[in-house]
Chains A and B, each alone.
Chain A
């Protein structure tokens, strides 16, 4: 009973392979099918159009109940109230590639005026997003971009260049522009970190930083234990080290923990990118004077205003257009429809208690 069906399957497969050998749809033959890039070309922007009242916005984060995304979305929802709109947050409980699709379809059915999405997969969300745009729904991606032909604008939390350069500025302030520093990064091939480090090296070439010497880039692989050991290793190799820059939230916390418990406390400055909740203790006890991160609340707020500007016809997502974003002032759309949030926020003992994430 079993043999015949198996033979049938094998035969069908063989036949199909044979048929396909005569020619088929391959990556190369279908290349031209996918170049539907100019999604926004047909629309016209009216920079003086007022923001419409009663706009319906929906935030679709990577997953709900993620503290970071909750801050972003709540700030966006509050922002929408300022211009007389209503916003809500919906989303899946897991951050898998496809879990956002059914939510997108639902939002299209509900005829929202704008969908704001932190995409789990830049391509998987593309189909429904295109459909949304074809129904005149404004599509704004934030935090994590969708493929660029599938959204109107992307709100980028911070430009890589600004992050890299400001890291050096902060460190220079902390050590009086003089001495040896090291970088504690994530993995050796992490795209984000490597770009930032390139800009840090670039910034160090400026004459005002001539007294600073970058002695080593260490990799803690975004693993708490390993980052801790790497910090220890750095200080054994360079006992006269003045500062450590850790452009990763795992690294900065591990470095601070090591310095906090060692004889180097107060002698070695730690800075980098961290979250206030994680770093609060070290800021309070003086181990860490300053660190940076973009403000997630402003990210959501800006996204909200961008969505309203598109839905009201003020902008279409083309490079060079400007729009007003409430208390953040005006923003200009850059290359590939990207809007940059601005320089990262510096956290220190004076402002850290205002942030809870």
Chain B
């Protein structure tokens, strides 16, 4: 894409870019999927406790909130934005859940209220980013602290417990006949919807366009600000809903619920091969990334690997996931240069 490339180059490029097996496999989302399969098979053969439906359902249930929030986060990162306030929205939602439940409200009323809170939280983020033109990293670091603070205002340091069993079951029990817990089943449905939106609609293409070149997207007629605002609202709603799931799953509403989860979500998205600079990524990669983090953690725990080592493994994997596509891109670039026209590279 170098603008100074000579006129001859475009003719040569299509041939260089034709899908060849090797470059195809260098795509990170494919690598993550392969890694996921390796971890799964390694686990299944290495430990008799791993591939049981009990253990898998535990591991999947443990991922519920991270997986759910990873979906809107993927859309945001593809559009070159980020929302660091997601875990705080989750905590705020959990705190409000506890306070209202304690005050005798019905769950059927509380959950819609939480969703509205999520909309408002997302609107605040989105409006600050789109109307004031502030960077989302800075805005959401601010609201991350703000929403967590509000959670403590609502519930203080106390914990509200004793939620009804039928709803707790909904958050922990599996879909009959499968090892898939209900929250994770919901994730699968939403992941399919998100994948269709991202990869098969105009809106999805707009996200990639915004992420790749915001100004160009704007001049191409894409309603950049509205789309971004929508993304932040969706992120808020999903995080607030994840707060309800979290509360019921643990049976404990606390203001510090989900503390630090935003990093786990972003880690999963990056591990899934989404470019933090925007414009690149697949939802399939993110799903594989989420599963890889969860299953790897579960496997390490089953083998009594110390927490510190678990963090080191996840950290290294993350660095590799960010590095590999860049190195691969560099390799491709130099190769293309050599192939293109010898005169241009002299």
Decide if A2 touches B159 in the complex (CB within 8 Å). no
A26-B106, A101-B62, A109-B49 as given contacts; A6 in contact with B233, CB under 8 Å:
yes
Nearest-CB residue, chain B, relative to A27:
B104
Interface segment among B4-12, B210-218, B305-313: the answer is B305-313
**Residues of A contacting B167 with CB < 8 Å?**
25
A202, CB-defined interface residue at 8 Å:
no
Contact-size category for B? 35 or more
Contacts of B260 in A (CB 8 A): 94, 96
Contact between chains at A96 and B109 (CB < 8 Å): no
Q: Contact: B301 with A90, CB < 8 Å?
A: yes
> Are the C-beta atoms of B298 and A106 separated by less than 8 Å?
yes
A235 at the interface (CB under 8 A from B): no
CB-CB contacts below 8 Å: B254-284 with A: 254, 256-257, 259-260
- A20 near B109 with CB under 8 A, answer yes
Interface of B is mostly: helix
Most central of B55, B112, B229, B259 by chain A CB within 10 Å: B112
> Of A11-19, A166-174, A224-232, A322-330, which stretch is located at the interface?
A11-19
Q: Are B251 and A126 in contact (CB under 8 A)?
A: yes
Interface residues on A, range: 35 or more
Q: Is A49 an interface residue (CB 8 A)?
A: no
A16:B111 contact, CB within 8 angstroms: yes
Q: Are B307 and A64 in contact (CB under 8 A)?
A: yes
Min C-beta distance of A142 to chain B, whole Å: 20
| Cβ–Cβ contact B119 & A9, under 8 A | yes
Partner of B251, one of A1, A28, A127: A127
A21 at the interface (CB under 8 A from B): yes
Contact with A along B78-119 (1 / 0, CB 8 A): 000000000000000000000001101111110111011001
Whether A33 contacts B165 in the complex (CB less than 8 A), given A28-B104, A90-B304, A102-B297, comes out as yes
Q: Which A residues are in CB contact (< 8 Å) with B172? A: 127
Q: In the complex, are the beta carbons of B302 and A109 less than 8 A apart?
A: yes
State A33–B162 Cα separation when bound (angstroms): 9
- A183 to B: closest C-beta gap in Å: 25
Does A121 contact B119, Cβ atoms closer than 8 Å?
no
Task: Show 17 residue pairs from A and B whose CB-CB distance is below 8 angstroms, ordered by the A residue.
Answer: A9-B115, A10-B119, A17-B113, A19-B108, A26-B101, A27-B101, A27-B104, A28-B104, A88-B304, A93-B308, A94-B260, A97-B256, A105-B62, A109-B49, A109-B52, A122-B159, A124-B251
Residues in chain A within 8 A of chain B (CB atoms): 1-2, 5-6, 9-10, 12-14, 16-17, 19-21, 23-30, 33-34, 64, 88, 90-94, 96-98, 101-103, 105-106, 109-111, 121-124, 126-127, 147
Instruction: List the 8 closest pairs (A to B, CB-CB), nearest first.
Output: A24-B106, A20-B108, A123-B161, A30-B164, A24-B108, A124-B252, A105-B58, A16-B112
